[in-house]
Amino acid sequence: MVYIYKKIVGGKSYYYLRISERKGKRVIAKDIAYLGNKIEEVKKNIDKLSDYKEEIRKAHKTINLFLESNYYLEKIKSLKLKKDEFLKERLEEVESCKLHYNKIFLKKDQLTQQEILKNFLIEFAFNTTSIEGNTINLIEAKNLLQEGLTPKDKTLREIYDLQNTEKVFFDIINLKGKLNNDFIIKLHDKLMDNVDPRKGYRTTDVRVVKSNFEATPAKYVSTDMNLLLKWYHDYEDKFHPFVLATIFHHKFEKIHPFADGNGRTGRMLLNYILMTKDYPPIIIHKVTRKEFLEAMRIADNSELSEPEVKNYLNLVQFSADELINGYWGIFL
């Protein structure tokens, strides 16, 4: 197998074509060609390697992903962005995803955009619902949402759960309205259609299972949501958009304004905010649920009025990793 390997020497990047081969129980890796120190140079030189054309072709997807993600990362690095105390070293990678999303993805024809977004939606719907206990697996989710094939031995509630997620996601893609209580309640009610009959903000107290925080008492839900929305609009231009969306998501979950569906609604709102700020949507994956909940738990120590870096650092960087690790495989 061949792949591109990046060496950092004295703060500078140098790229090599590397081959790895299994010999007995050992995997031997060696550099077989120097490709340059700029991605544009690498792109030109890799096409000249006639001795490894077949191997390069087999590894095309992996190599292309590496080249494109690093190309946009180089573009962002050249801008020398102002540092962000929450995102730290992940700032440039988040911005490289945004750059590709706006310069390439959003310039594709409408049909291609829809196909890519559909692929994203299937993974998003599977993960956001399975985190909450939905037992429909990824293959079944794909068959349901792409082919209309109903999975066997699954409840109607689980099926509506995914179908509602698809409908709401495509509804919010082009919305640019002001984030307010009416919007949030309508979004939640659509997500929970035929899943849970309780509409609007809850009127009874809830206990959040397997969590260490106490949700806002029912009598104060409207008050806390108004405070959260005021904070959001007051700080909209003071935080990096990705940080703003992440903190809003956490504070929303801590209030837990609905009787059910808070997690699904919160993750949909996270993506709504990101997309209104021209950032790509992200997926909080089921396999990283433990790390996600731990980062949320640490953030619980922060006050709404003054979100401290030490409390939100883990959550912001976790969310950034979810974007960085998931974006290129879907949107490239």
What mean pLDDT, rounded, does the chain reach? 94
Same domain, 253 and 306: yes
Burial class (CB in 10 A: 0-12, 13-18, 19+), 276: middle
The last residue of a domain, from among 80, 97, 127: 80
Other beta carbons less than 10 A from residue 207's beta carbon: 8
**pLDDT surpasses 80 at 236:** yes
Tell me if 87 is assigned to some domain.
no
214 pLDDT band, cuts 50/70/90, is: confident
The CATH number given to whatever domain includes residue 236 is: 1.10.3290.10
Rounded distance, CA 307 to CA 206, Å? 25
pLDDT attached to residue 211: 66
The identity of residue 157, as a single letter, is: R
Tell me if 293 is assigned to some domain.
yes
Same domain, 183 and 62: no
Tell me if 85 is assigned to some domain.
no
Same domain, 216 and 138: yes
Same domain, 114 and 75: no
Same domain, 124 and 19: no
The angle subtended at Cα 36 by Cα 33 and Cα 41, nearest 5°, is 115
Give the tens place of pLDDT for each residue, 48-104: 998 889 999 999 999 999 999 999 999 999 999 999 999 999 999 999 999 999 999
Tell me if 94 is assigned to some domain.
no
Count of domains forming the chain? 2
17 pLDDT band, cuts 50/70/90, is: very high
Tell me if 109 is assigned to some domain.
yes
Tell me if 263 is assigned to some domain.
yes
Same domain, 161 and 295: yes
Same domain, 255 and 116: yes
Same domain, 124 and 75: no
Same domain, 41 and 190: no
Tell me if 99 is assigned to some domain.
no
Same domain, 153 and 270: yes
Burial class (CB in 10 A: 0-12, 13-18, 19+), 35: buried
Q: Which domain holds residue 237?
A: 105-331
Same domain, 313 and 222: yes
The last residue of a domain, from among 45, 80, 115: 80
The number of residues in the chain equals 332
Same domain, 52 and 117: no
The reported pTM is: 0.93
The last residue of a domain, from among 80, 113, 128: 80
CB 71 within 8 A of CB 301: no
Tell me if 166 is assigned to some domain.
yes
